[in-house]
Structure 1
Amino acid sequence: MRRLTLVLLALLFPAAALAGAQKYEPLSDSVRATLSRTIADQAPPKSSFRDPMEAVDWLTEMSRRLEKRIPNRDHRHELLRAVHYEATRAGLDPQLVLGLIQVESGFKKYAVSSAGARGFMQVMPFWIKLIGGGDDNLFHLRTNLRYGCTILRHYLDIERGDLFRALGRYNGSLGRAEYPNMVRGAWQGQWLYAGNRIPVAGNSATSP
């Protein structure tokens, strides 16, 4: 029943209705340096899939689910490959990241929230000054995903793997259940993948 409720929430609420804003929090010099190195790593992307068949299976299935939102096949595959790479690189479940993107931006590359958050993962511009390069473009596909996944990983580390609280921080709604439950509903209702062998990051996103 709980899973059904989460799925219905994800389907009934408009995409990006709960797009929020990460809140500025002072970072220690060591944390800032670590995050800056993560963002600045420009090593050429290598495949994040364990073998070609895994890539074909995952891309085929996720592309089918994403087709109505992004009709162009090349654009879908570009996004999905980037999501898989950046999520895996950050130690996140790619399907979780797809659920978060669905709730935050509705898969709109140039989405801008009322608070000024930008792109697929609705990253706040203050992060560029805090940990990035001054000319970073948050509407650039891989840049947006790199920032978003790095920020979510950072919040998971702060919250010691508690996904419910990490998602609350990501959305600027720490302690409230609506947003984490929406992401969980999208993740489990639309993006969960039986062939997934990547460990789920953190604990349950559902409020106690």
Structure 2
Amino acid sequence: MITRRQVLLPAVAGAGLWAACIPPALAGAQVEEPLADAVRTALSSAISSSAPPVPVFTDIDARLRYLRWLGAMSRRLQRRTPEWNERREFLQTVWYESKRAGLETGLVLGLIQVESNFRKFAVSPVGARGYMQVMPFWTRLIGNGDPSSLFHMQTNLRFGCVILRHYLDREAGDLFMALGRYNGSRGRPQYPNAVFAATRTWAWKEPAPSDPPPAGGITLPGS
């Protein structure tokens, strides 16, 4: 189970405030560290597996839960990504890659909000790229060596999720420390606080059967 230690400072509500709290050179700056051969092999395998991000469900109830989640997240993301097909493809891929890495989907969306504000081609002052602001050295360590591939949506989301999972395992499930390691600010509270605050925006709970449907619904594929 993912755990996090208690954060002592007030939560920072977004990437802009986060950038104002610490030097901008830390933004998205995962630190290159030596990897044991077994770790490098495991991470490379996780990156290279090429299953398409198409959800497969064992029963209709699971599919309906996913579609309800997709509808709720789509409404929240619409202001940032107005085009439905682009929004659907992005959310479907986030859902797939977060589940694949054993991460909470809301956490991944919160991290993306803080890191890039959902900008596919975002580049930080230190060279981190894409939605999840992945540092280019990761493509040399565990990928194909091409940093431009980090602007490909699924590639970026897969790298980001696999790297965060790796850091979470290294920190024995301590999400606070894993997020700090992801950002290159391990042990400092501003970045984890910002992600925790953003994650609340993307939290989703299955509505009770008696709850009325949300206003402004959209037509979902396959429904």
After TM superposition, is the score higher than 0.5? yes
Per the TM alignment, residue 46 of structure 1 is displaced from its structure 2 partner at its CA by: 3.9
Note the alpha carbon deviations across 1:45-73, whole angstroms, 9 max, x for none: 34166622012100000000111111111
Kindly indicate whether the alpha-carbon contact (under 8 Å) linking 1:15 and 1:105 is maintained by their aligned counterparts in 2: no
Whichever of the two has the greater Rg, that structure is: 2
User: Match of 1:160?
Assistant: 172
Equivalent residue for 1:45, pick from 53, 69, 82: 53
Note the alpha carbon deviations across 1:157-185, whole angstroms, 9 max, x for none: 00000000000000000010000000000
Per the TM alignment, residue 144 of structure 1 is displaced from its structure 2 partner at its CA by: 0.1
Q: Which piece of structure 1 moves more, 16-25 or 162-171?
A: 16-25
Kindly indicate whether the alpha-carbon contact (under 8 Å) linking 1:15 and 1:104 is maintained by their aligned counterparts in 2: no
Kindly indicate whether the alpha-carbon contact (under 8 Å) linking 1:15 and 1:106 is maintained by their aligned counterparts in 2: no
Kindly indicate whether the alpha-carbon contact (under 8 Å) linking 2:18 and 2:190 is maintained by their aligned counterparts in 1: no
User: Match of 2:36?
Assistant: 28
5+ unaligned residues in a row in structure 2: which ranges?
1-6, 208-223
The Cα RMSD (Å) is 1.9
User: What code does the residue aligned with 2:49 have?
Assistant: D
Structure 1 segments, 4+ long, off by >6 Å, are: none
Q: Say if 1:16 and 1:63 are closer, same or farther in 2 by CA, change over 3 A.
A: farther
Kindly indicate whether the alpha-carbon contact (under 8 Å) linking 1:117 and 1:125 is maintained by their aligned counterparts in 2: yes
Alignment of 1:8-19 (within 5 A): 9-11=12-14, 14=16, 17=19, 19=27
Per the TM alignment, residue 192 of structure 1 is displaced from its structure 2 partner at its CA by: 1.0
Note the alpha carbon deviations across 1:20-59, whole angstroms, 9 max, x for none: 2100000000000000000000123341666220121000
Tell me the distance in 2 between the aligned counterparts of 1:135 and 1:45: 21
5+ unaligned residues in a row in structure 1: which ranges?
197-208
Equivalent residue for 1:76, pick from 73, 87, 90: 87
